[in-house]
Structure 1
Amino acid sequence: MTGRRVVILGATGSVGRQALAVIREHPDEFEVVALSAGGASVETLARQIVEFQPRAVAVSEPGAASAVRAAVDRLVAAGDGFAHPEYLEGTPGSATLAALPCEVVLNGITGAAGLPATLGALRAGRTLALANKESLVIGGELVRKEAAPGQIVPVDSEHSALAQALRAGRANEVRRLLVTATGGPFRGRRLAELHGVTRAEALAHPTWSMGPVITINSATMANKGLEVIEAHLLFDIPYERITVVVHPQAYIHSMVEFRDGATIAQINPPDLRLPIALGLRWPERTDDVVPGVDWSTAHTWELEPLDESQTPMVALARAVGELGGAAPAVYNAANEVAVDAFLADRIRFTLIHEVVDDAVAAYTPPAGALTVEELMDYDATARRRATELIRRKTS
């Protein structure tokens, strides 16, 4: 019997690789229909094509598709009958794949580039396993209007945990959502102490192994700010009822407090394969995806409130979430530019927040409902403003 048909967008990234690892371990449960990637990891994508034999592959980087095809030819023995997939090239390719006949589209693309694919999957009626939080944050109400009830299944560990815990009660019984955060590499340090932190220090996450952009977002706590906005959009809970709790061990992935005082937590050792597997088969579970907690040994877990005065990216995210419109898109765009500059050693760590704050301060709300084109215009304007601010501060 053929398994659930899956399209993996961002196949060579951290989420994509782990999704394919889940599929590799459960070959009867899933069938890979298509893969997409940026094009920087040619050999990785070629190996994935040979192993999973998708029908179509999209590569966004110009000229990279031919390099991928050549890499596949090097891996495949002549005359073994291997059939190449259809290759698509350019940025629209992922959105095209998202509309292919399948049961689930996993969007693991990083950043604002994931928005067209998110909209493409929703408009085609596919279940969207969403690891690209930026597309929901940027698209906001536009994305929510396209989504049928239950069509978006979160893959971030925090939002997957919330979705699981929310099954313990009705929506009108929820008092608040408790989104956990490890605190990143600078937990316990005051904002004033972070002026001179290095790229290597910021990339040294104590718990998770992630790509560089997500790791820096974790260090600034911008990632948690985006997750607060995402939680509001996914579960329709007001911002004042979404609380961030620091939990450095990352076993408790998030919690829901109900109005009778009960709190339901979702717990497992830190491993993204569990929420990925849930995203691929929701609401069903897959056997033996990750080892559970070893309850034969003692555990000590810390939980403490987040001081948002020392994590301005979280406080700013709440503010832009309340503003709505294109404000979250401006926040995200300016942050992506500032993080890229920090990773290139062009700006200091604490300037990331300054750049984003400046872009948000210049934001003018739209007169009415936003189109995708208008959102992209706001995104582009914020990127130009952030780039100019960085130029002025570093010249």
Structure 2
Amino acid sequence: MEGTTGAWLGRYLEPETIRSDGAFARFATRRLDDGAACVVITGAEAPLAALARAHREVRHPSIAPVSHAGELFVELACDARIDGIELVARCIAQRRTLEYAQLDALVIAVSDALRAAASCGVFAGRLSLASLLVSARGELALIGLGHRVAVDDERGTIAVAHAVFQAPEVAAGGAASASGDLIACWQMWKALLAHAELPDALARALRGEPREEDASIASSLREMERWASESADRRAECDEGERRWAALRAAIGIEPDADDLARVLGDVALGLDPGFQLDEWGEATEESVALGPAGAWIDTARGERVKLGPALRNVLALLLRRHAEDPGRTTSTWELLEVGWPGESIQPDAGANRVYATIRRLRNMGLRGVIERHDDGYRIVPGAQITWIQD
């Protein structure tokens, strides 16, 4: 019989377990006949048949398509290596945090996939980080439509110990819906905030300590949370939840960066450390940088020499000066704004976003392990190796 363990194993080359903590195991592997990368899910026949039907019905770049179905397994045309739980675990181990623009891009990809499924009358109901698969190219794939194989057993009961995201009515045994799926996505966003670098204004609003200039973010957070906490019979339609979330994004003022997200996800899936620099012994270190005269350019161990414009150079120079005077000292966002754009009249929230974007550019240029968020500002990492090159 095709669905027996031996039979499905005979179709594939050296399957590697992605996760097998519930009733359904997921494996990253390649087909024996043509070497094509795929993911195999094994478990009970009827739930997997339901999953195969749903994944065939919904067409979306972030929903893994079915390439073969046996009696006790389903093959997805997906070259994922890890799931979202492993993604977070590796980020923690590497002391890596997502930038907020990357986090927002991740959640948008999931919510877009769920919207596509809802348009076909298919709902997830429950999500977990294990519902997300990540490829070496940084592509995301959502699994579990038709049957929640990353969360439930064959009877539809939660069978895992890790965090599960679901609307209140689904938790109580009620029906899944488009608005319920958006709430599950909202809960995932909140869970992932702990692993992201947040803009100062958003961080203050989430702590319940907003300043006057943070009012629009704080208000949008309350509005979205109010919608998500309503019971299914009183909750406004999914479109209203999407409108409120869009208002929050507009108030935060940071554009999602899907390309940068893919780069980071790919690095993590491949097991690459965020640092590329080498110390004098040839060992990897992420806390080093070589700078030209007056910070006119930076040399990274990626072999790049990157010229800095005035704002980038001035912001970096102030951080370096503070580091030289007092290693570990934080420079506030407003000090960096003043030195980067002297004499300009900028609204506080726009100024904070401008500094955030500038720091993000510097980190992407090779200073990811050299500059870090600290308190209400930024600093050079204590112990960072700064080399000045005079030529």
TM-score calculated relative to the size of structure 2:
0.24
User: Which has the larger share of strand?
Assistant: 2
TM-score calculated relative to the size of structure 1:
0.24
